[in-house]
Amino acid sequence: MVVSMIQFIIELPDVASIKEKRRIVHSIRDRLIRKYRLSVAEVDLHSSLGYSQLGAAMVSNSRRYGESVMHKVLTFIEDECEGRLHDVKIVSESF
């Protein structure tokens, strides 16, 4: 069993309230879940207005497949989401 994970920080410079930030984060999370069937959560920077740290994970039987999905997730985030990405990490672990 291989667990593949991605973690990244999104900079959201034009956000004026926590409510607006939550709307953006929930939208990103929901789209990732629907499109790639991942587990996704905001893992840090909960009270920060300008930044959000998200993590996503999936279980598969191949490191290559899991990491290819994580790279597709990265491309999707870069293309579709407002804000800039920082500290992107993609990791796979075998169990």
User: Which tens digit of pLDDT belongs to each residue from 61-82?
Assistant: 999 999 999 999 999 998 888 7
Residue 36: closest CA among 63, 6, 73, 8: 73
Domain 2-94, architecture per CATH:
2-Layer Sandwich (3.30)
pLDDT of 40 over the 90 cut? yes
What's the pLDDT score for residue 82? 77
**Cα separations in angstroms, 40 against 17, 26, 36, 56, 62:** 22, 10, 10, 4, 20
